[in-house]
Amino acid sequence: MAEQTTEQKKQRIFSAIQPTGVFTLGNYIGAVRNWDKLQEQYECIYAIADLHAITVMQEPAKLRQNTMRAFALMLACGMDPERSITFVQSLNPHHAELSWVLSCSTMFGELSRMTQFKDKSRRHSDNINAGLFTYPVLMAADILAYNADLVPIGADQKQHLELARNIAQRFNQRYGDTFTVPDCYIAPQGARLMSLQDPTKKMSKSDENANGCVFILDDKDTILRKFKRAVTDSETEVCFREGKDGINNLMTIYSAVTGKTFAEIEAEFAGKGYGDFKTAVGEAVADHLAPLQAEYNRLIADKAYLTACMNNGAEQAFRLTRRTLQKVYRKVGFVDRK
C-alpha cells in the first residue's frame, strides 16, 4: 500500500477590503478578524482593494494615504506577511486584465440586479460611472485569478460572490474547465453588524449619524460614548430575542470581543439595566481594540517597511495569477506572448 506521506494541499482563501478610511467595527468583526483565524488552516491571500475604491470620487493624495493606513491596519489586525500574501490590489495588474475578459462573460442584466450598485447610485447620483456598474466583475476577477476555494466576507457581499460563481461557471462551460468555483465563508456571528443609531441598518462608515458607527481606531472615550448612546428598546431585559434589534446587535458585539455565549451574557446581566450593559460592551470593545491600536501606531510609523511589504506581497501574488492569465488568454484565443 502506498505510504501517505504527502501533506494534503491547503485550500486557498482570497479576500479584500477597500481603503476608504479606518475599518469599522463591522468590517472587523464581520470579516477581517476571521481572516486572521483562517491563516492557521488555509493558504491566504489578502488585499487592500484600491481599484474598487475609485468607483466613488477620491482625492488622490488621500487615497494614497488611506491605502497605506489600511495596509497597516490589516497587518495590525493579525495578517502576517510571513504566513499569507498581503498586498495592494493595484500593484498586481492581472486583476484589471482579467476583469476585462470576465466582463465579456457577464450579462448587463446580472449587474443591474446588484443591490449595492442600486444603493451606491442613489448615494452618488452625480457620479454613476461605468466602474461602479462593473465593480462586481473586478471583484470576481480578484477571486478567480487566484482560483480561491473560499472567500470570507460579511453578509452584504454575498450577492457579489454569487455573481462571481456564476461568471466562473459560465466561463468554464464555454471554454472548458478554467476556474475554481469559490464558496463564501460567512462567520456564524457578526456577519451583519448593525448601526448603533438605527439597528435595522448595516453599520457603515457612510452612516449620517457619526454615533452609529464605531471605527477600530476610535479612542476609549469615543467608544464608550458611542455605546452609551446606542439605540435599544423600551424594555429592560438583556436577552437575544426577535424584535430586540439594538440589544441583539450589542450582544453580538459583546460576544464577539469576549468570547461569551448569549446564555452567559444573559446570566451576567440578569437584573441589571441597559445602562450597565452598554458600558460593559463599550469597555470590552475598547479593551479588545487597545493592542491592535498600539500595533497600528507602531506600523504606521514605518512607511519603508509597509511599502516593501506590500510590494513583496504583490510580487508573490503576480506569480500566482500569471499562470491563470496565461491559461485564460489561451482559452479565449489570444495570440501567444513572446
**Which residues are part of the catalytic machinery?**
120, 202, 205
Question: Contact with ligand TYM (CB under 6 A): which of 43, 142, 149, 218?
Answer: 142
Q: Please, are residues 21 and 205 in contact by the beta-carbon 8 Å criterion?
A: yes
Question: Contact with ligand TYM (CB under 6 A): which of 154, 212, 282, 313?
Answer: 154
CB nearer to ligand TYM: give 154 or 199. 154
Q: Cell 452567559 appears where?
A: 264
Determine, following the binding rule CB under 6 A, whether residue 103 of this chain makes contact with ligand TYM.
Answer: no
Query: How many residues lie near ligand TYM (CB under 6 A)?
Result: 24
CA distances from 25 to 32, 74, 76 (A): 10, 13, 14
Instruction: Kindly state the smallest distance separating residue 308's Cβ from ligand TYM, in Å.
Output: 23
Determine, following the binding rule CB under 6 A, whether residue 203 of this chain makes contact with ligand TYM.
Answer: yes
Taking the CA of residue 61 as centre, how many other CA atoms within 13 Å lie in the half-sphere pointing to its CB? Answer: 0
| Alpha helix segments (H runs only) across 85-243 | 94-103, 108-112, 115-123, 130-144, 158-175, 220-228
Determine, following the binding rule CB under 6 A, whether residue 232 of this chain makes contact with ligand TYM.
Answer: no
Closest C-alpha to 123, from 49, 20, 215, 197: 20
The rounded distance, in Å, linking the Cα atoms of 45 and 79 is 10
Determine, following the binding rule CB under 6 A, whether residue 202 of this chain makes contact with ligand TYM.
Answer: yes
Question: Contact with ligand TYM (CB under 6 A): which of 12, 33, 52, 69?
Answer: 52
Instruction: Kindly state the smallest distance separating residue 271's Cβ from ligand TYM, in Å.
Output: 31
> Which range, of 77-85, 135-143, 224-232, 285-293, touches ligand TYM by CB under 6 A?
135-143
Q: Which residues contact 9 (CB under 8 A, 6 or more apart)?
A: none
Determine, following the binding rule CB under 6 A, whether residue 143 of this chain makes contact with ligand TYM.
Answer: yes
> Which range, of 22-30, 124-132, 219-227, 312-320, touches ligand TYM by CB under 6 A?
22-30
CB nearer to ligand TYM: give 202 or 269. 202
Q: Which residues contact 210 (CB under 8 A, 6 or more apart)?
A: none
Radius of gyration in angstroms for the set of CA atoms belonging to the chain, rounded to a whole number: 21
Residue 15 pairs in a beta bridge with 46
> Which range, of 54-62, 75-83, 106-114, 146-154, touches ligand TYM by CB under 6 A?
146-154
The length of the chain is 338
**Which residues sit at the interface with ligand TYM, rule CB under 6 A?**
14-18, 26-27, 30-31, 49, 52, 139, 142-143, 151, 153-154, 156-157, 191-193, 202-203
